[in-house]
Chain A
Amino acid sequence: MTERSASGLVLENVRISLKGRILVDLSLGVAPGRVATVMGPSGSGKSTLLAYVGGFLEPAFTAEGTVLLNGTDITRLAAHRRHVGILFQDDLLFPHLSVAGNLAFALPERVRGRAARRQRVEDALIEIGLEAHGERDPATLSGGQRARVALMRVLLSEPHALLLDEPFSKLDATLRAQIRDLVFAKARERELPVLLVTHDPADAEAAGNHVVSLSSP
């Protein structure tokens, strides 16, 4: 099932174990703009797999296998050099920064000059329908607004791939479908390979049914 290609996210023979017990053992390819869904019971190592791809695996785990992103081996790179963005089930907007501050935090250093950076943040706010919300305290936004800001924040950092760790599970039913469609649409638009971890079969269906199942622990 591995799609060998120079572009997209490729996991080759990734094997992660904890104290000698193998949690994850798989190979997987995700083409740009596509979503691979990882499902499995709690404790099956779904989030551990994301941690390995993102580069923030706890030292207690032992892991081997290669992670290729658009043809580049990123297995040994530090997390912040991988260009892999992540969304958790909580939006994790930095509470000490304004909405605009959160977005500016993500904007690459390349974008220089105060005016240019502010413009990019403004454009991003417009893109998610939150113009004029830049100076707001993130704590005062609604759940849906916060989810949109979190999504925009990760997109502004110009990632080459997205990791989603049950990002919709805390949203109520109507909002869930809405945000899910938005996330997938933006990923498609930017041609990002997406690795999604979820419990919800509806997520997998919406993602195009490319499902990898991890066995119970």
Chain B
Amino acid sequence: MLRLVPFLAILVLVGPVAAGLAGAALPAFGYLPALGGTAFSLDPFRAVFAAPGIWTSIGLSLGVGLTSTAIAFLAVVLFVAGWQATRVFTVLTQMLSPLLAMPHAAAAFGLAFLIAPSGWLVRLASPWATGIARPPDLLIVNDPLGLAIVAGLALKEIPFLFLMTLAALPQTDARRLTEVTASFGYGRTAGWIVAVLPRLYPQIRLPIFAVIAFASSVVDVALILGPTTPAPLAVRLVTWMNDPDLAMRFQASAGALVQLATTACALLIWIAGERFLGRLAGPHLASGRRHANDGPLRAASAGVMVLVVIAVALGIVVLAVWSFAGYWRFPDALPGATTLANWARQVPGIFGPLETTVVIGIAATVIALALSLGALENEKRRGRVAGSRALTLLYLPLIVPQIAFLFGLQVLFIAAGLDATGAALVLSHLVFVMPYVFLSLADPWRAFDERYATVAKGLGSSPTGIFWRVRLPMLIPAVLTAAAVGFAVSVGQYLPTLLIGAGRWPTVTTEAVALAAGGDRRVIGVYALLQMVLPFLGFAVATLVPLLLFSRRRGLAA
């Protein structure tokens, strides 16, 4: 039984992606008998490229994906390089970590409420500093260049890449390496980049690719912050997919493949950049320049991190304020009246989406946990660790753009009569929950002191007994954290819920994003806040339960 679990896990990761891509590829070339497409043709692609402004859309997807990732990468590298093993580093680590739990949509709404012309920042500065009494007529949110969406994505990518870097750091011997470079007279930042980054980079490369893929194909954040005329490619695809004219399915499928190519293109550009910088680095290293005066650079890198924390925190506050706001005149800094009416109005309709969000999230998380635990336990018993090739599979659903295979998967589910069923929806969430659950569980599980199991064997415990009575209880904190991560990922899912759920399974997230176009900040505040609270509740449970369970077990307190 246990031997089958790794295959099952791989099937969950690879199956939907492969099936989904196939399900998009056939209609993309005109073949979908159910809709009368029986001959292969390139017409769907012609239709895609005939769409007005399509190249602008593709360019936006590329540009947004690469720019936001580059900004996040640069911010993280400069900060870790300049501040590793300092008190500032410890403090900011504690402040950045929780940001990971924040759903993308909620973070985007928070940012939009801050930076919009009638947003909080302008209000806080008006009229005493700006002298204005009416919102300036500027397109800040949804700007055609995509600056707002780049900022919104970077807000989420920085904490993600930062935590991935933190996880990889212990294996690089960073501390001693930087002590050596410091003794040669290199500045902190330069020494770290010279000595540690080359070792660290291979380990954060897949997460970076995942970020590029996500940012170049994101839908929910683009709907909230992105340009509209035209929108990035992925947003236009969703419109085509939901078009009442079923013939548009062919064009949408071709578009899905164009999205796949666009993301692949973004990845290739990044890889070319890696090569280029790598070649540039050689002569520079040999030059022996020490860059000892990196004070301003270090200050700037810490400043960026503080800005990220402040922006997200203020975003949360402003969402909360709007959700309780009564009459709020521009440019008042705070609403003239607070009220529970916004919440009261939403309550009757909110329970359905809330329940769906929680049930789907728990179901996907429990399955992902069971598969991950089974695969890891199997690995322990066989005495081998899955190689880097298996790790690539884990990242597959994160590197293939969601929209490229979800639409094809939807087509297949419709053909199988499974569309819009709860099971299909859970499966589509599982594809994205599984990698995160496995990744966050694998390190602590593999780091477990195997001598405990050896002792237990000597005491007569069977492998199954050891799993349930020794390994699992001792690793409960790690299991719960992984569960909280998985739940947060599920809560944040927009596209799978929209496409596979066919609109019949509204969640807090799909409802919140659907409200973006309407612009009623009070209602958005309510939904975005709820969307944010759910993952944080998950992490609270994951923190509190071990404290209660092991309140008298100091050996597990660490």
Contact B553 A54 (CB under 8 A): no
For B470, give its contact among A56, A58, A81, A94 (CB under 8 Å): A94
Q: Which B residues lie within 8 Å of A81 (CB)?
A: 460
Q: 27 A–B contact pairs at CB < 8 A?
A: A58-B383, A59-B383, A59-B384, A60-B383, A79-B454, A80-B460, A80-B461, A80-B463, A83-B460, A85-B459, A86-B454, A86-B458, A88-B451, A90-B451, A94-B474, A95-B554, A95-B555, A96-B555, A105-B459, A106-B459, A108-B460, A137-B553, A137-B555, A139-B554, A140-B554, A154-B458, A157-B458
Count CB-based A-B contacts (< 8 Å).
Answer: 83
Tell me if A's interface is mostly helix, strand, loop or mixed: loop
Point out the residues of chain B lying under 8 angstroms from A80, CB to CB: 456-458, 460-463, 465
Give chain A interface residues in 57-88, CB to chain B under 8 Å. Answer: 58-60, 78-81, 83-86, 88
A134 to chain B, nearest CB (A): 13
Interface string of B546-557 (1 = CB under 8 A from A): 000010111110
Q: How far is the CB of A116 from chain B (nearest CB, A)?
A: 18
Q: Given B382, B458, B465, B555, which contacts A138 in the complex, CB threshold below 8 Å? A: B555
A153 within 8 A of B: yes
Report if A16 contacts B (CB, 8 A). no
Would you call A183 an interface residue if the criterion is a C-beta within 8 Å of the partner chain's C-beta atoms? no
Verify A153–B459 contact, CB threshold 8 A: yes
B378 to chain A, nearest CB (A): 13
CB-contact partner of A92 in B451, B460, B554, B556, under 8 A: B451
- B455 partner residues in chain A, CB cutoff 8 A: 86, 88, 92, 154
| 8 Å CB interface, A113-168 against B | 137-140, 153-154, 157, 159, 163
Given A59-B382, A80-B460, A105-B459, A139-B454 contact (CB < 8 Å) = no
- Say yes or no: B458 contacts A139, CB within 8 Å: no
B517 to chain A, nearest CB (A): 51
Q: Does B275 count as interface, using CB distance less than 8 angstroms?
A: no
A40 within 8 A of B: no
**Cα A92 to Cα B455 with chains together (Å):** 8
> By the criterion CB–CB under 8 Å, are B473 and A54 in contact?
no
| Closest partner residue, chain B, to A54 (CB atom) | B458
B289 within 8 A of A: no
Q: Is B245 an interface residue (CB 8 A)?
A: no
Question: For B384, B459, B461, B556, which residue has the most chain A Cβ atoms within 10 angstroms?
Answer: B459
Known: A137-B555, A159-B458. A92 touches B550 (CB 8 A): no
> How many angstroms from the CA of A84 to the CA of B457 in the assembled complex?
9
Return B459 CB to nearest CB of chain A, in Å. 4
Whether A96 pairs with B550 at a CB distance below 8 angstroms is: yes
Closest Cβ–Cβ distance, residue B457 to chain A (whole Å): 4
Is A55 interfacial (CB 8 A cutoff)?
A: yes
Q: Which residue of A lies closest to B554 (CB)?
A: A139
Bitwise, B377-416 to A at CB < 8 A (1) or not (0) is 0000011100000000000000000000000000000000
Which residues does chain B contribute within 8 Å of A60, judged by CB atoms? 383
Given contacts A86-B454, A94-B452, A96-B474, contact A137 B459 (CB under 8 A): no
Residue in chain A with minimal CB distance to B551 = A137
| B73, chain A: closest CB distance, angstroms | 38
Q: Which residues of A contact B556 (CB under 8 A)?
A: 95-96
Minimal beta-carbon separation of B303 from chain A (angstroms): 42
Residue of A with least CB distance to B556: A95
Cβ of B553 and Cβ of A163 under 8 Å apart? no
- Write the nearest CB–CB distance from A136 to chain B, whole angstroms: 9
Does the CB pair B383–A85 fall under 8 Å?
no
B137, CB-defined interface residue at 8 Å: no
Chain A residues with CB below 8 A from B451, complex form:
88, 90, 92
Bound state CA distance, A157 and B465, in angstroms?
Answer: 15
**Closest-CB distance, B385 to chain A (whole angstroms):** 12
Tell me which residues across on chain B come within 8 A of A59, comparing CB atoms. Answer: 382-384
Q: Which of A78, A95, A138, A157 meets B459, CB within 8 Å?
A: A157
CA distance A106 to B460 in the complex (A): 7
Closest 3 CB pairs of A and B: A95-B555, A139-B554, A139-B555
Q: How far in angstroms is the closest Cβ of chain B from A97?
A: 8
Q: B431-459: contact bitstring with A at CB < 8 Å (1 yes, 0 no)?
A: 00000000000000000010110111111
- In the docked arrangement, what's the CA distance between A58 and B455, Å? 15
Q: What A residues does B476 contact at CB under 8 A?
A: 96
Q: Which residues of chain A are near B456, meaning CB under 8 Å?
A: 80, 105
Per the bound structure, the CA–CA distance linking A150 and B384 in Å amounts to 29
Task: Collect the chain A residues with CB atoms within 8 Å of residue B458's CB.
Answer: 54, 79-80, 84-86, 154, 157, 159, 163
**Do A56 and B454 contact each other (CB < 8 Å), given the known contacts A92-B449, A95-B474, A96-B556?**
yes
**Chain A minimum-CB-distance residue to B469:** A105
> Which of A59, A88, A108 counts the most chain B CB atoms within 10 A?
A88
For residue B384, give the distance in angstroms from its CB to the closest CB of chain A: 7
Min CB distance A164 to B, Å, is 11
Q: Which residues of B contact A95 (CB under 8 A)?
A: 474, 553-556
Q: A137-B553, A138-B555, A157-B458 are in contact. List 6 more A-B contacts (CB 8 A).
A: A80-B462, A86-B454, A95-B554, A96-B555, A105-B459, A139-B555
**In chain B, residues 183-220, which have Cβ atoms closer than 8 Å to a Cβ of chain A?**
none
A154 touches B459 (CB 8 A): yes
Residues of B within 8 A of A58 (CB): 383
Give the complex CA separation of A138 and B550 in angstroms.
12
